[in-house]
Amino acid sequence: MEWAIISIILVVVVVFVALTIKIVPQQRVGVVERLGKFNRLLTPGLNILIPVIDQVRTYHDLRIQQANVPPQTVITKDNVQVQIDTIIFYQVVGPEEATYGISDYVYGVRNISTATMRQIIGKLELDETLSGREKISTDIRLALDEATEKWGVRIERVEVIDIKPPLDIQEAMDKQMKAERSKRAIVLEAEAAKQDMILRAEGDKQSKILKAEGDKEARIRQAEGSRQAQELEAHGEAKAIQAVAEAEKSRIELIRSAGLDEHVLAYRSFEALAEIAKGPANKVFLPTSAVETLGSLGAIAEVFKASKDSK
């Protein structure tokens, strides 16, 4: 009997402790109601409650959560049905508002996301929808922020995972893509051929320019060589003429130093003429002016002989 009483007491104590002491882990909070009315929040760590009077309504995870929105089929501005998958990242920043502001904020976020997506896609054409994922995500996030602000929930990010157009549209897009790729290949090939022709023409042009420059340089060098040869030849002739003149000058100076004047030279000339006239086939004709000087030849001869005898 005593053991039964002790057991009951132990059970009561355990239940009392369980209802009194609450340990909350990090990044979680509990909403406490006292007699059915919001009282306070349980913070991470050890918390004391009044049994029966205080009750924990719910716990909220303060970490960033994600909610997958089921694939939605929406119609674009040009009446094309597309299927869009999205994912939403959110965080509870107001546990009290998240508890009393809406019964299920996750469900509310999904519904608002779906409705907003239909409105946004309905204003876009198919091409804009396929290329405007970032714009769609931004517009959905702004619409959710405006609605969830009073729920104590903050939308961190909205990502459009996939956009699937109908099968026939996909096949048409594939054909268009293949045609575009073929066109790009043809254009690139033509551009490569054009560049090749340009490079070949440029190379040929440069080759001709270099050849012309080489011919020009050769002609210049050849002309320069001819000019230098002519200068050297003229210089040599000038040197030869100068040497002959110097020799003639020296000879004349020697004749003058020997005392031979113009009369002696004239006599020598007539002697040379006499020797030339001795030949049987030689005839010498003298001008009349020369005859006048013959009268003085005797005197010249006598002078010359006298000079030889004195020697």
Q: Which of 122, 106, 124 is nearest to 74 (CA)?
A: 122
Gap between the Cα atoms of 274 and 297, Å rounded = 13
Question: Stretch 134-142: mean pLDDT, rounded?
Answer: 86
Per residue in 268-305, pLDDT (tens digit) is: 555 655 555 555 555 555 555 554 554 554 444 454 45
What the block records as the tokens of 231 is 């200068």
In a domain, 203, yes or no: yes
- Report how far residue 192's alpha carbon sits from residue 198's, in angstroms, rounded to the nearest whole number: 10
Pick the more confident residue, 221 or 17. 221
Please, which pLDDT band fits residue 259 given cuts at 50, 70 and 90? low
- Percent of the chain whose predicted confidence (pLDDT) is above 70: 79
Quote the mean pLDDT of the chain.
Answer: 78
Range of the domain at 185: 166-236
Residue 29 pLDDT: 93
Angle formed by the axes of helices 262-277 and 297-310, nearest 10°: 100
Q: Is residue 188 part of a domain?
A: yes
| pLDDT tens digits for range 6-15 | 777 777 777 7
Residues 33-91: pLDDT tens digits? Answer: 988 888 998 889 888 888 888 888 899 999 999 888 888 888 888 888 888 888 999 99
**Residue where the block lists tokens 């001795």:** 278
On the question of pLDDT at 17 being above 50, the answer is yes
Q: In this structure, what token pair is assigned to residue 252?
A: 């004349």
Work out how many domains the chain is built from and give that number: 3
Task: Return the closest-CA partner of residue 31 out of 121, 113, 92.
Answer: 92
Q: Tell me whether residue 293 is in a domain.
A: no
User: 67 and 154 share a domain?
Assistant: yes
Say if residue 190 is in the same domain as residue 98: no
Lowest mean pLDDT among 84-98, 140-154, 190-204, 248-262: 248-262
In a domain, 212, yes or no: yes
The encoded tokens of residue 303 equal: 């002078």
Taken in order 208, 209, 211, 215, is the CA torsion positive or negative? positive
Residue 292 lies in a domain: no
- pLDDT value for 252: 67
What is the pLDDT, as a whole number, of residue 52? 81
120 domain-assigned: yes
Does residue 7 lie within any of the structural domains? yes
Question: In the prediction, which pLDDT does 262 show?
Answer: 58
Angle subtended at Cα 50 by Cα 44 and Cα 55, rounded to the nearest 5 degrees: 70
Are 94 and 38 within one domain?
no
| CA angle (34 as vertex; 32, 38 as ends), nearest 5 | 55
Q: Is there a domain that residue 142 lies in?
A: yes
Q: Which of 117, 112, 115 is nearest to 163 (CA)?
A: 117
Residues 149 and 70 grouped into a single domain: yes
